[in-house]
Amino acid sequence: MVRAQQRLGNIHTDELLQEHILTWQEEGTLDQAIVDERDAHKGRLRLQTDKGREVGILLPRGVKLEAGDVFALEGTDDRLLVQLALPEVMVLTPHHKQTIEHMGWTIRLGHVLGNQHWPVAVDEGEVLVPVSLDRAVMETVLRTHHLLEHFSIRYEYRAWPKEEETWTTHH
């Protein structure tokens, strides 16, 4: 496994690095990897690159990956360009206005999602849950507790809200 610790910069904020990327692509010394956005906060990641190489990224504490980060690969002249993939999320929207009865169903939804240990975010009145299992399995859990009678479901690829922007929880 090749290690990547030295962050060279980000192509979205460094014009010179953007030019180097084109040169490295032509020379064949640029490798790329896609990281799930939900993993970008991890300090240690093991990735498979587009060229099939196994790379370990080691980040200092408190640093998170950003789309467009570029790293030097130790022991080689190669560079690694990191892209972030948006996660698929289940979006649950309440059918009714917030009444006492519906508040009970919202609490029940929180209870059921928590029992499954599914991460949850609430963003502008919608409940977001990362799709971590087959959709049918996730929907069966909600149907078993009669929650689909009170919430509509749609699926989309969406950036996971940052904790400072909305309420989130991870188990």
Tell how far CA 126 is from the center of its chain.
Answer: 18
Extended strands (E) in 43-158: 44-48, 54-58, 69-72, 79-85, 88-94, 120-123, 126-130, 151-157
Q: Is the pTM of this model over 0.85?
A: no
Domains of the chain by start residue, with CATH: 2-85 (2.60.260.20), 88-169 (3.30.70)
Written as tens digits, the pLDDT of the chain (171 aa) is 999 999 999 999 999 999 999 999 999 999 999 998 888 889 999 999 999 999 999 998 888 899 999 999 999 999 999 999 988 999 999 887 667 777 888 899 999 999 999 999 988 889 999 998 999 999 999 999 999 999 999 999 988 887 655 555 554
Residues 91, 131: Cα–Cα separation, whole Å: 10
